[in-house]
């Protein structure tokens, strides 16, 4: 019985010993947005700190496009060895499933959550030159000038896009 327990401990300890060697080469953060976007900034702040702490380079690679599908697919199809990491947001991991009939990846089967890096608030801002100084005033102004206002997002299907559409549908603007 002691031999069985000893063997079990050796088997259980083996993955832990391997994990201590990680990383043995550079790690790539795949960012599903363009350079300068919030997710990119987080990756660029995190990468040097991890590089310093773990002794290997953490490289940020931007792969924007197709509403984050390009980056998510690349990571999902990469070798599942922990050296290609998606800086995932709610878009590739939750929203895209509701927007697309078929995705080239499965957010539940193809990814393992590692850490929550940040939570990001959404804020409605307008040009200071507009006469609207509150949300109520902005809604009234937008209703009085249909089609006169536009908004910017990081892409279709992103939370920024969906929140703007929700705002428009809830306010009739």
Give the pLDDT confidence of 35-87 residue by residue, as tens digits.
Answer: 998 899 999 999 999 999 999 999 999 999 988 999 999 999 999 999 999 99
Give the CATH number, domain containing residue 23: 3.40.190.150
Distance CA 140, CA 29 (A): 44
Looking at the fold, whether 126 and 91 belong to one and the same domain comes out as no
Q: Give the contacts of 112 (CB within 8 A, at least 6 positions apart).
A: none
* Same structural domain, 154 and 69: no
Residues 6+ apart with CB under 8 A from 68: 32, 33, 89, 91, 92, 96, 155, 157, 158
What pLDDT score was predicted for residue 15?
52
Same domain, 51 and 126: no
* Nearest-angstrom CA–CA distance, 13 and 3: 15
Same domain, 95 and 137: no
Length of the chain, please? 173
Separation of alpha carbons 38 and 5, rounded Å: 49
Into how many domains does the chain fold?
Answer: 2
Range of the domain at 63: 2-99
**How many Å is the maximal CA-CA distance in the chain?**
82
Q: Give residue-wise pLDDT tens across range 81-107.
A: 999 999 998 889 999 999 999 999 999
* CA 158 centroid distance within chain: 10
Query: Of 99, 129, 159, which residue constitutes the final position of a domain?
Result: 99
Separation in Å, CA 61 to CA 14, 42, 153: 32, 13, 21
Identify whether residues 95 and 158 lie together within a single domain.
no
85 shares a domain with 43? yes
Give me the percent of the chain exceeding a pLDDT of 70.
Answer: 88
Answer yes or no: is 104 within a domain. no
């Amino acid at each position: 019985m002691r031999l069985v327990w000893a063997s079990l401990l050796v088997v259980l300890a083996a993955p832990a010993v391997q994990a201590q060697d990680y990383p043995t080469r550079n790690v790539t953060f795949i960012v599903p947005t363009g350079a300068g976007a919030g997710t990119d900034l987080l990756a660029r702040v995190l990468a040097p700190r991890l590089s310093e702490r773990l002794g290997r380079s953490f490289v940020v690679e931007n792969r924007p496009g197709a509403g984050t599908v390009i980056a998510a697919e690349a990571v999902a199809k990469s070798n599942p060895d922990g050296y290609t990491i998606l800086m995932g947001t709610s878009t590739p991991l939750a929203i895209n499933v509701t927007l697309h009939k078929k995705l080239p990846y499965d957010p539940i089967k193809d990814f393992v959550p590692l850490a929550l890096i940040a939570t990001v608030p959404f804020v409605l801002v307008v040009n200071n030159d507009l006469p609207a100084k509150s949300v109520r005033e902005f809604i009234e102004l937008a209703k009085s000038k249909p089609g006169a206002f536009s908004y910017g997002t990081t892409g279709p299907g992103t939370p920024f896009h969906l929140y703007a559409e929700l705002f428009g549908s809830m306010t009739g603007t």
